[in-house]
Structure 1
Amino acid sequence: MLRELVAKNRSYRRFYENEKPSSEQLKAWIDLARLGASGRNAQTIKYMIILSEEMCESVFEQLAWAGYLQDWDGPRKGERPSAYVVMVNDDALGKNYFSDDGIAAQNLLLGAVERGFGGCIIRAFKEKELRELLKIEAGYSIIQLIALGKPKEEVVIEEMNNGDIKYWRDENGVHHVPKRGIDEIILEEL
């Protein structure tokens, strides 16, 4: 069951834009993020929920999508995320959030996938513009955004060929993600 959930948790980039998670669902997923491990138990990460259509559109304009897909500028209208969670670090609590952001994002996304939603972690954004748009005060550092919605695309995992790590889309729009084999990533068994 857990393996299936993890395998289903892909970086989705196209969504049914009209199908939104509720505020309660988003808070429940953030609660899963909150429950994860935290370096020194400092718990420096805070969250902003973006759910209104207008704000989602404004946030979308500040993002970059899928670097390997050079001929694609991101999801078109109707396929864009219907919600975002913005992760910020509260610098007053500590400037080093260690790997807490990855743990939190994974927990949040697993909660979303369990409920039929999906998402994409985005670290490519116009920081100054996003900070102004969201009125993020000094003392908070933007870590990343998680774009969320009902996935409108199929993403498949496949074995990597010839060391090529680049994801790609086929003629049917299926998103292919190559993964290194288990024997390649285990260096030694002592």
Structure 2
Amino acid sequence: MLINDLIYRNRSYRRFDESVRISEQQLIDWIGLARFSASARNAQPLKFVPLWEKERCDKLFPLLGWAGYLKDWNGPKSGERPSAYILMLNDTDITTNYFCDDGIAAQSILLGAVEAGFGGCMIASVKKEKLRELFQIPDRFQILMVLAIGKPVEEVVIENIKDGGYKYWRDEQGVHHVPKRSLDELILKL
């Protein structure tokens, strides 16, 4: 699969076929992609906690915020929830400044998932103290985000921004629409 295709298919999916399970080894393989990705100053401060067991995934789910722009939606219903997660942490014993490592690592992991026929969503809206308590995460690890991963069941449509509206939305059929700025708007000709 070409990189253009992988990036285009790497959407923020929020509904999945929960019956399609992801193995521990698949998660470890995708974390391995983050291991070989760029790291500011090559400090490599990120740590990862893979969760694939249904019981642990079910305990994590209520600690996550889903799709803030969709005010009338509280997240995926049972059967449409992610079948795995990866907790992303910063090891403050290595550094307190992880720069942009989290975004690079998350993108690498999700591109690996997409290549394997899965998809995911980066979630930073997390009840962090409850998460720390639930999984007994030592204080030295700063909770950065949770990657929710599964077999997507929703259609995501990319469209051009109209009238400055950049907020994603769902239509009556449940299709998820994501407005994107045009390439001409992104490139400054100075």
TM-score where L is the length of structure 2: 0.98
Aligned letter for 2:40?
Answer: G
Aligned pairs for 1:111-126 (under 5 A) are 111-126=112-127
- Once the two structures are superposed, residues 126-167 of structure 1 have per-residue CA deviations (whole angstroms, 9 ceiling, x without a partner) of 111011001100100000000000001011111110110010
- Superposed displacement of residue 22, structure 1: 1.2
- Give me the identity figure in percent: 56
Look up the match of 1:104: 105
- Once the two structures are superposed, residues 59-117 of structure 1 have per-residue CA deviations (whole angstroms, 9 ceiling, x without a partner) of 00101100000000000000001000000000000011110000000000000000000
Look up the match of 1:161: 162
Return the alpha-carbon distance in structure 2 between the equivalents of residues 147 and 43 of structure 1.
22
Return the alpha-carbon distance in structure 2 between the equivalents of residues 138 and 184 of structure 1.
43
Return the alpha-carbon distance in structure 2 between the equivalents of residues 134 and 156 of structure 1.
36
**Gaps spanning 5+ residues in structure 1: where?**
none
Return the alpha-carbon distance in structure 1 between the equivalents of residues 112 and 53 of structure 2.
21
Q: Is the 8 A contact 2:16 2:82 kept in 1?
A: yes
Aligned letter for 2:108?
Answer: N
Return the alpha-carbon distance in structure 1 between the equivalents of residues 23 and 141 of structure 2.
26
Aligned pairs for 1:45-56 (under 5 A) are 45-56=46-57
Aligned pairs for 1:1-190 (under 5 A) are 1-188=2-189
TM-score where L is the length of structure 1: 0.98
Indicate the RMSD between aligned Cα atoms, in angstroms: 0.7
- Once the two structures are superposed, residues 19-73 of structure 1 have per-residue CA deviations (whole angstroms, 9 ceiling, x without a partner) of 1111111111000011100001000000001111111011001011000000000
Return the alpha-carbon distance in structure 1 between the equivalents of residues 92 and 22 of structure 2.
29
**Gaps spanning 5+ residues in structure 2: where?**
none
Instruction: For residue 124 of structure 1, give the secondary structure of its aligned residue in structure 2.
Output: coil
Q: Is the 8 A contact 2:65 2:75 kept in 1?
A: yes
Return the alpha-carbon distance in structure 2 between the equivalents of residues 24 and 56 of structure 1.
16
How many pairs does the alignment contain? 189
Moved over 6 A (4+): none
